[in-house]
Amino acid sequence: MHDDRIHVGGDLDPKSAAYDIAIVGGGPGGYVAAIYGARQGARVVLIEKDTPGGTCLNRGCIPTKALVRTTEVYKTMQEAARYGCRGENIQVDFGRAMARKNRVVSGLVKGVESLLNKHTVTVLGGWGRLVDRETVAVKTTDHETLVKARHIIIATGSEPVSLPIPGALGSYTIDSTQALELQELPSSMVIIGGGVIGMEFAFIFARLGVKVTVIEYLDRILSLLDHDLSQEVFRSARTAGIKIHTSAKVTSIEEGADGQGVVAFEHAVTGEAFPELSAEKVLMAVGRRPFLEGVGAAELGIELDDSSGGIRVDDRMQTNIENIYAIGDVTGQLMLAHVASHQGIVAVDNILGQHSVMDYRAVPNAIFTDPEIAAVGISEDEAKARGIAVKVGRFPFAGNGKALTLGMSRGFVKLVTEPDTGIIIGGSVVGPGATDLIGEITLAVQHRLTARQVARTIHAHPTLPEAILEAAWAAESGALHLAD
Answer yes or no whether residue 68 interacts with ligand NAI by CB under 6 A: no
What are the phi and psi torsion angles at 280 (to 5°)? -65, -35
Contact 311, 331 (CB under 8 A): yes
Q: Kindly indicate which of the ranges 73-81, 90-98, 286-294, 472-480 contains the residues binding ligand NAI, using the contact rule CB under 6 A.
A: 286-294
Contacts of residues 218-222 at CB distance under 8 Å and 24 or more positions apart, as own/partner, are 218/194, 218/246, 218/247, 218/268, 219/246, 219/247, 220/194, 220/246, 221/194, 221/195, 221/246, 222/194, 222/195, 222/196, 222/367, 222/369, 222/373
**Active site annotation includes 461:** yes
Answer yes or no whether residue 279 interacts with ligand NAI by CB under 6 A: no
Q: Kindly indicate which of the ranges 10-18, 119-127, 303-311, 360-368 contains the residues binding ligand NAI, using the contact rule CB under 6 A.
A: 360-368
Compare residues 105 and 250 and give the one whose CB is closer to ligand NAI.
250
Compare residues 60 and 344 and give the one whose CB is closer to ligand NAI.
60
* β-strand partners of 266: 249, 273
Compare residues 216 and 418 and give the one whose CB is closer to ligand NAI.
216
Answer yes or no whether residue 333 interacts with ligand NAI by CB under 6 A: no
Answer yes or no whether residue 179 interacts with ligand NAI by CB under 6 A: no
What are the phi and psi torsion angles at 3 (to 5°)? -90, 110
Compare residues 308 and 463 and give the one whose CB is closer to ligand NAI.
308
Taking the C-alpha atoms of 436, 439, 441 and 446 in order, what is their torsion angle to the nearest 10 degrees?
Answer: 160
Compare residues 219 and 359 and give the one whose CB is closer to ligand NAI.
219
Compare residues 217 and 397 and give the one whose CB is closer to ligand NAI.
217
Contact 425, 446 (CB under 8 A): no
How many CA atoms lie within 13 Å of 66's alpha carbon, on the beta-carbon side? 22
Q: State the residue number with the nearest CB to ligand NAI.
A: 195
Using DSSP's 3-state secondary structure scheme, residue 283 falls into strand
Contact 364, 338 (CB under 8 A): yes
Answer yes or no whether residue 399 interacts with ligand NAI by CB under 6 A: no
* Of positions 250, 374, 424, 475, contacts ligand NAI by CB under 6 A: 250
* Of positions 20, 48, 175, 216, contacts ligand NAI by CB under 6 A: 216
Q: Kindly indicate which of the ranges 45-53, 79-87, 92-100, 217-225 contains the residues binding ligand NAI, using the contact rule CB under 6 A.
A: 217-225
**What is the DSSP code (8-state) at residue 320?**
S
- N residues, the chain: 484
Measured CA distances, 161 to 168, 176, 374, 446 (Å):
10, 10, 25, 33
Answer yes or no whether residue 217 interacts with ligand NAI by CB under 6 A: yes
Answer yes or no whether residue 194 interacts with ligand NAI by CB under 6 A: yes
Shortest distance in whole angstroms from residue 97 CB to ligand NAI: 19
Contact 407, 72 (CB under 8 A): no
Please give the residues from 124 up to 163 whose contact with ligand NAI meets the rule CB under 6 A.
163
Answer yes or no whether residue 196 interacts with ligand NAI by CB under 6 A: yes
Shortest distance in whole angstroms from residue 55 CB to ligand NAI: 9
Contact 86, 80 (CB under 8 A): yes
Residue 404's identity, in one-letter code, is L
Count, residues near ligand NAI per rule CB under 6 A? 27
Compare residues 234 and 368 and give the one whose CB is closer to ligand NAI.
368
Using CB under 6 A, list all residues that contact ligand NAI: 60, 163, 192-198, 200, 215-218, 223, 249-250, 285-288, 335-336, 365-368
Q: Which are the catalytic amino acids?
A: 461
